[in-house]
Chains A and B, each alone.
Chain A
Amino acid sequence: MTVQNKGEPGSAKPYLQIDRLTKKFGNFVALDSVSLEVYEGEFICFLGPSGCGKTTFLRAIAGLDIQTSGTVMQDGADISALPPAERDFGIVFQSYALFPNLTAERNIAFGLENQKVGKSAIDKRVNELLELVGLPDQGPKYPAQLSGGQQQRIALARALATSPGLLLLDEPLSALDAKVRSHLRHEMKALQRRLGVTTVMVTHDQEEALTMADRIVVMNHGVIEQVGTPTQIYREPDTLFVADFIGAMNQVSGRVNSDDRITIGELSFKSRTHGLASDAPVVAAIRPEDIVPRDPRDESEAENSLEVEIDDMEFLGSFWRVSLKSSALGEASLMADLSINATRTLAAEVGSTIRVALPADRLWVFPPAGSL
C-alpha cells in the first residue's frame, strides 16, 4: 500500500510516521506492510470490520505488541523497538481497565504519583481532569459505583493526566449503549479539539468514524484500503470494499465498454473514468441517494436514464427507500432514496413505473471483489 494522504492539512507536520509496518502471528499476517502519516493534533480513526487488524495496528503504535518489521516514528524519533514505558502515549481500552480498588480520583492520579509532583499539585490536576471530563463530583467513587459512560470518561481522564503527546483509543465507546454513545462521541471530539492532542481511535462503527474523525483509515484484511476525510471516504471510495463498507451502496455487475463506459444487462452507461481493460467484468456502484428521479414530463433521452418499476417501498422518516427493477438490467435491483416530495410528484407506488438517471460522475466502477 502506498501512503494516500489526500486530506492532510497542508501546514501541519507529520507527528506519527508509520512505514511499511508488518505484524505476523506465526504464519498469519495480521498487518501487511501498512504505511501512514498522522499529523499533529489530528483525530484519526481506524475503521474496518472485526478482525481486520485495527487493534493490532494500534498496539504496535503503542509498543504493546511490537511489529515484526517496519518503523514507527513519533515526533521525529524512531520508537519502533521501544517498550511502551519508553514511549509517549495515553491509552483507553474497550474495557477501560480501571483499577477496581482505587477511586476515580486515585485512578486518575495513578500516573501522576511517583513522578516528583507534589500532593497538592496532583490534587489540583485530578480536579482539573475531573472537570474536563464533566465529572467534578465523582472523584471519591469506585469504578463499580459509576455508570459505563462515567467509567469511560474516568479512563480518558487517566490517560490524559500525564499530558501525553498521543492518545490511543481502542473501541472506547463500543461497550456503551447507543444513546450514551452518541452523546459521548460529541463530547470526546470536542475535548480532543480543545486539547489538540493527536488521537488515534479504533472503531468498527462507521458512524462513529464519520462523525468524529478528521481522517479515516479504512482497513481490511491487514491492509489499508483508503485514507481520507470522512467526505472523501464517503463520496470518493477508492475500492469496492470502501464503497461497500461505508454507507449504503448499490452494486451491479457489468462489463467494461471503454474507458468511461460500461454495460449492465442490455444497457450501456457512462461512468467515471476507471482505466480498466475492455470487456473486463466489473462492479458498478452507486449510492441510493445519488439516483435521480426524472421529471415524467421531460421526454428527452437523457444520458444514463432508464425506466424502472417500483418493486418495494420503505418509509424511513425523512425519505423513502424504494427498490427498483428493470428487465433491461437483468436480475439486478437498485435501491434509491427518494424525497417525500419526489414520491408525491412522481405518484410513486409499488408497481408503478418511473424514470431515473444514474449520474455518470456518481457511478463508480471497480474490479469485482477477490480480483486484484
Chain B
Amino acid sequence: MTELADTAPAAPLIKPKTSKDDRIMVGFILVICLYLLITLAFPLYAMLSKSFSTYAFDLTNFEFQVNAGDGWSEPFSAAEQNDKIQKFKPKDLVTSSDGRLATTEFFPDFSFRSPTLYRLRQVRGDTSFLFGTERVDDTEWHEYSSNDFRRIVIRASGDTGLDNFRTYFSTPALFRSIENSLFISFLSTIITVSLAFGFAYALNRSTMRFKGLFKLVAMIPILVPSLLPGIALVYLFGNQGMIKGLLFGESIYGPIGIVIGSVFFTFPHALIIITTALAISDSRLYEAATALRASRWRTFWTVTIPGARYGLISAAFVVFNLVITDFGLPKVIGGQYNMLAVDIYKQVIGQQNFEMGAVVSVVLLIPALLAFGVDRYVQKKQVAQLSARSVPYVPKPHRQFDRICLAYCSLVAVFIVGLIAVCQYAALIKFWPYNLSLSLDNYNFEVMDGGGWDSYTNSIQLGLYTALIGTVVVFVGAYMVEKVNGFFTTRSAFQFLAMMPMAIPGMVLGLAYIFFFNNPDNPLNAIYGTLAIMVICTVTHFYTVSHLTAVTALKQMDREFEAVAASLKQPFQRLFARVTVPVCLPSILDISIYLFVNAMTTVSAVIFLYSPDTTLASVAVLNMDDAGDIAPAAAMGMMIFYTNVGARLIHQFVSRKLVRTTQAWRGG
C-alpha cells in the first residue's frame, strides 16, 4: 500500500486562499503596527541617532581678514588664531546642535566702536554662521564693520560618533548617576519586595480581620503621582518638618527620601504580583508539609518561598524598573543627589543639551531593558507553573499568627495612609509652619505657576481620551493578532512592538517624541505641543500592560468561535460586536480604568511634551513644587487622587452592575 503512495504522482501543493476576514484583520494589524512604528519605533530611532550625533565648532573652516585702516591682513583661520591666543581648549569646542560661538571671541582687543573692518569666509560650504538671524553658508568673503562683526556667531557643525558617550563617561557628575540610580533601585527593590511579601503573606495565609480594607489601602499609591510621597516627606522630615528629629540630623533630601518614596509608590505593584504568586501555590504541598510535621518556619522556607519564587523575582524586576525610570520623585526629594531620569530632564530642560539627554536616555534604557527581559522570562515560567492544576490554600485561624499579621498590615497601612493624610493636611493649612489655620487657599491654582485649574481639566481630558482611544486601539489590535489566520511574520512583528513600550522608560519616550515630532521635516510636526501628542504618547507608554490584559481575556474565549462564525458565513465583525466585546467587557473596562489612572498620574513622558496651553495636573504638581509652592502642589496632587478614586468607584459600580445583569450567562 505504501508503494502505491510512493509511485503515485505528487499531489498538488495547496496555496490557501486568504479569506476576506483575514485580509481585513491583517489590514487592521498593519495599521496598528504602523501606529506603533510611528509612536514608538521611529521616535526611539530618532533618539538613538541623536545620541550619536556630535556637534563641534570647526575652526579650520573659518578664515578672517582684518583691516585696521592699514590694509587687509593675510587670511588666517580661526584655528590658527585660537592657537595664537590660547583661548579654547578642544573640549570647549564640543557643543550641542544649538551651540553658538561669537567670532569676537577670537579678537581679545575687539571693540565695536573701533573703525576696524573684518572679513569672514568659510573654506568649505559645510558649515555656517549667523549674522543676526541671517544664516550664511556660502564660501564667499563677507565684509563687516566692527559694529556688525559683534553680531556674528559661528554655528556648530554636526558629525556622528561616540563623542557624546565619551563626554558622558568622562564627566563624573553625570556618570555618578548610574551608580546612584542602581544603588537606590536595589535598595528600594529589596525593601519593597520584603514589605509586600509580608503583606501578601498575611493576606493570603492568615485569617486576620480587615483584609478587604488592607487590600484597598495598599492600592492607594497607584492613584497618585509618584512625586506625591515626596511632598509628604518634605512636610514630615524637611527643613521645617513635623517630625524632622526622627532622622537624627540626616537630610530627607537625597537617598533617604527617594527610597522611602519609592517604597511607597512601588508597593502596590509588587503586592499584586506576589499576591498572585502566593494564591496559585498549591495547598496540597502544605497538607503534605503538615503531615510530615514540618514546623511553620520550615514549611515557609521549603514550600512557600520556592512556590512564590517566580512571583518574587518578577516583582523585584518590576519594582527595580519603576524606581530606576521614575522621574517625579527624585526631582522633588532628591536634592543634590543625581539620578539618571532626572539627568535627562536637567540636560534637556535645564541645559538644552539634547544630545546629552539622548545619551543619558540610552544609558537608562540598558537596565530597563535587562529588567524587562528577565521579567518576561520569569513570567513565562510562572505561567507554566500555573497550568499544573493546583488547589487553592485555605488558611486556618491561628490566634497569635493572625495577631502578628494584623499588626504588621496595620503598620504598612498607617505608612501609606499617613503619607496621603500629610499631603491632604498640607493642602488645607494656610502657611506651614507659621499659620496652621485651615483654608482652601492652596486650591486657588490660578495664582500659581503651573497652569491653574486648566491643567486639571486638561488632565481629565487626557485621561478620558487616553482611556477611550487607547482601549479601542489596544483591544482591536489584540483581537486581530489573536484571531487572524496565518500572516506569521506580521503577527510576530506586532507582538514585538506591543511588548516594547514596557521596556521604554517614560522619560526616554518623551524625549524621543521631541526628536521625532518636533522635527520640522516631519509631516506630523503639527501635533507637537497639542493634547493629541500627549494622548498618543500616553497610550503608547502604557500599551503593553493593556495589551496583555486584552490578550489574556481573549485567550479565555473558546478558540473555535471564529471557526463557527465562518462556517455560518458570518463576518468576524459581527462576531466581534455580538460576542467578543460583550464577553470581554469586564476586561475592557479594566483596560480603560488602567489607562485613565495612569494618564492622570504620569509625569515622566509628558514632561517634555506639554505646551503652555496643555499643562497637566501632574506636571503642575511638579512645577509648583519646583517654584516653592509646595502646599498648592500637594493640593493638586490630592485633586488627582480624588479624581482617580472617583474614577475607580465609577468603574467598580459599572463593573458590578455589568456582572449582575450578565450573571445569567456568565454562569455565576
Contact = CB atoms under 8 A, between A and B. Distances in A.
Interface in A56-84: 62-64, 66-71, 80-84
B570 A114 contact: yes
B291 interface: no
Contact of B5 (A33, A142, A158, A162): A33
Contact of A91 (B4, B22, B564): B564
A111 B665 contact: no
By size class, the interface of chain A is: 35 or more
A21 interface: yes
A69 B665 contact: no
Contact of B583 (A68, A100, A159): A100
B565 to A, nearest CB: 8
Interface in B1-35: 1-2, 4-5, 8, 10-22
Interface in A76-109: 80-87, 89-91, 93, 95, 97, 99-102
A143 interface: yes
A20 B11 contact: yes
Contacts of B5: 1-2, 20, 32-33
Contact of B567 (A2, A70, A84): A84
Contacts of A69: 10-14
A84 B665 contact: no
B13 A68 contact: yes
Contact of A68 (B1, B14, B579): B14
A81 B569 CA distance: 17
Nearest to A238: B1
Contacts of A244: none
A144 interface: yes
A178 interface: no
The main secondary structure of chain A at its interface with chain B is loop
Interface in B543-573: 558, 560-561, 563-570
A125 to B, nearest CB: 13
A115 interface: yes
A110 interface: yes
Nearest to A23: B14
A358 interface: no
Contacts of A143: 665
A114 B572 CA distance: 12
Contacts of B570: 110-111, 114
B612 interface: no
Nearest to B569: A85
B310 to A, nearest CB: 29
Contacts of A68: 13-14
A145 B19 CA distance: 35
Interface in B566-625: 566-570, 574, 578-579, 582-583
A161 interface: yes
Contact of B560 (A80, A81, A93): A93
Q: Which of A68, A89, A97, A142 has the most CB of B within 10 A?
A: A97
Interface residues of B, number: 40
A372 interface: yes
A32 B11 CA distance: 11
A1 B5 CA distance: 6
B567 A22 contact: no
A99 B579 contact: yes
A33 B9 CA distance: 11
Contacts of A187: none
Given A83-B19, A84-B566, A2 B1 contact: yes
A290 interface: no
A19 interface: yes
Nearest to A145: B664
A2 B564 contact: no
Contact of B4 (A2, A70, A80): A2
A100 B665 contact: yes
Interface string B655-668: 00000001011110
A100 B561 CA distance: 10
A71 B11 contact: yes
Most buried by B among A85, A97, A161, A164: A85
B563 A1 contact: no
Contacts of B2: 1, 372
B15 A70 contact: no
Contact of A97 (B19, B564, B582): B564
A62 B14 contact: no
Contacts of A90: 567-568
A67 B17 CA distance: 12
A85 B12 contact: no
A159 B567 contact: yes
A147 B616 CA distance: 55
A198 B514 CA distance: 64
Contact of B564 (A32, A83, A158): A158
A19 B2 CA distance: 15
A89 B567 contact: yes
A66 B12 contact: no
Nearest to A106: B578
B662 to A, nearest CB: 7
Nearest to B8: A20
Contacts of B666: 100, 144
B664 A83 contact: no
B22 A80 contact: no
Interface of B: 1-2, 4-5, 8, 10-22, 485, 558, 560-561, 563-570, 574, 578-579, 582-583, 662, 664-667
Given A62-B563, A111-B567, 14 more contacts: A1-B2, A20-B5, A21-B11, A22-B11, A32-B5, A81-B14, A87-B567, A93-B560, A101-B583, A101-B662, A110-B565, A110-B570, A145-B664, A161-B568
Interface of A: 1-2, 19-22, 32-33, 62-64, 66-71, 80-87, 89-91, 93, 95, 97, 99-102, 110-111, 114-115, 142-145, 158-159, 161-162, 164, 372
The 9 lowest CB-CB distance pairs between A and B, nearest first, are A111-B568, A83-B19, A144-B667, A20-B11, A142-B665, A97-B560, A84-B566, A66-B16, A70-B11
